[in-house]
Structure 1
Amino acid sequence: MTTEVTPTEKYLEVQRSAEFAGLRRKLRNFVFPMTIAFFLWYALYVLLSAYARGFMSVKLIGNINVALLLGLLQFVSTFVIAWYYSRFAAKEIDPIADKINADLTAGAAARADAAAPARSDDAPETDQEAAK
């Protein structure tokens, strides 16, 4: 009698694997520092707006002052981080995740093939053929 591995057990096995732990570590090593850097950048903008009004109101060109420039740079930095993460994920995260997924689905397909009853070549293909 063969013991069947449930999907839950298989997912837990993948979660405990060194490969998955490495994937999570790589992701954390990118996400946490980037999040902290962006938060500090945003907090600097808020603090300067609240406590350095004279500095923030310095006009640079025409009516464009430091506050407006830093505010616009908040948007630019958001897009740069998103672009950088996209590159990072495509190069570092996705190949590992794809391999883990392929191993998981290959294992599921192999178990399904092993569990399927053997079929002879002369067996009817459909119920309609069986009725003939």
Structure 2
Amino acid sequence: MATDAPPPSKGGPGTRPAPPSTAQFVAEQESPEFAELRRAHRSFAFPLTVAFIAWYLLYVLLSNYAGGFMGTKVFGNINVALVLGLAQFLTTFLIAWWYSRHAATKLDPRAEAIKSRMEDGA
């Protein structure tokens, strides 16, 4: 039984474009737009990573070598160690939120422009 549906067209709404070649990837990697995207990511992620690791190591070192200070009661049974330990969780979530915001406003639009340019050129 024959159908009246036309054959699928090349490049129609349900088809995917051919993937970019290796040369296109290399050319894009060497472009100033990609370098700017990489700089925007690194200038945010690297300093924040170093700062968080330093903050975490400070907490560990204080826990090991400053027991008297960490055991100081803040109020009730809550001591400095507990407050700083909970602050570790808080800073983790704040950094994740901050990075998400940074990526949405600074990184994603640039990455999308690069992706669109590569898909159009493929």
What TM-score bracket applies, with the shorter chain setting the length?
0.7 to 0.9
Structure 2 segments unaligned to the other structure (5+ residues): 1-19
* Residues 86-105 of structure 1: per-residue CA shift (max 9 Å, x gap): 00000000000000000000
Greater relative contact order (Cα < 8 A, sep 6+):
2
**Paired position in structure 1 for 2:86:** 72
| Structural RMSD (CA) | 0.8
Q: Which amino acid aligns with 1:24?
A: R
* TM-score of the superposed pair, with normalisation by structure 2: 0.83
The share of aligned pairs that are identical, in percent, is 56
Gaps of 5+ in 1: 1-5, 109-132
Structure 2 partner of 1:106 = 120
Question: Which residue of structure 2 aligns with residue 112 of structure 1?
Answer: none
> Based on CA coordinates, which of the two structures has the bigger radius of gyration?
1
Determine the structure 2 residue equivalent to 1:28.
Answer: 42
Query: 1:40 and 2:73 equivalent?
Result: no
**CA separation in 2, counterparts of 1:42 and 1:102?**
40
CA distance in structure 2 between the aligned counterparts of 1:31 and 1:83, rounded to whole angstroms: 13
> 1:61: how far off?
1.4
User: Out of 109, 118, 121, which is 1:95 matched to?
Assistant: 109
Given the two structures, how large is their TM-score scaled by the length of structure 1?
0.76
Superposed CA deviations along residues 93-119 of structure 1, whole A, max 9, x for unmatched, are 0000000000000111xxxxxxxxxxx
Match of 2:73 in 1: 59
Instruction: Supply the distance in 1 between the matched residues of 2:33 and 2:24 (Cα, whole angstroms).
Output: 14
Q: Are 1:12 and 2:23 matched, yes or no? A: no
After TM superposition, the runs of 4+ consecutive aligned structure 1 residues lying more than 4 A away are none
Structure with more helix by fraction: 1
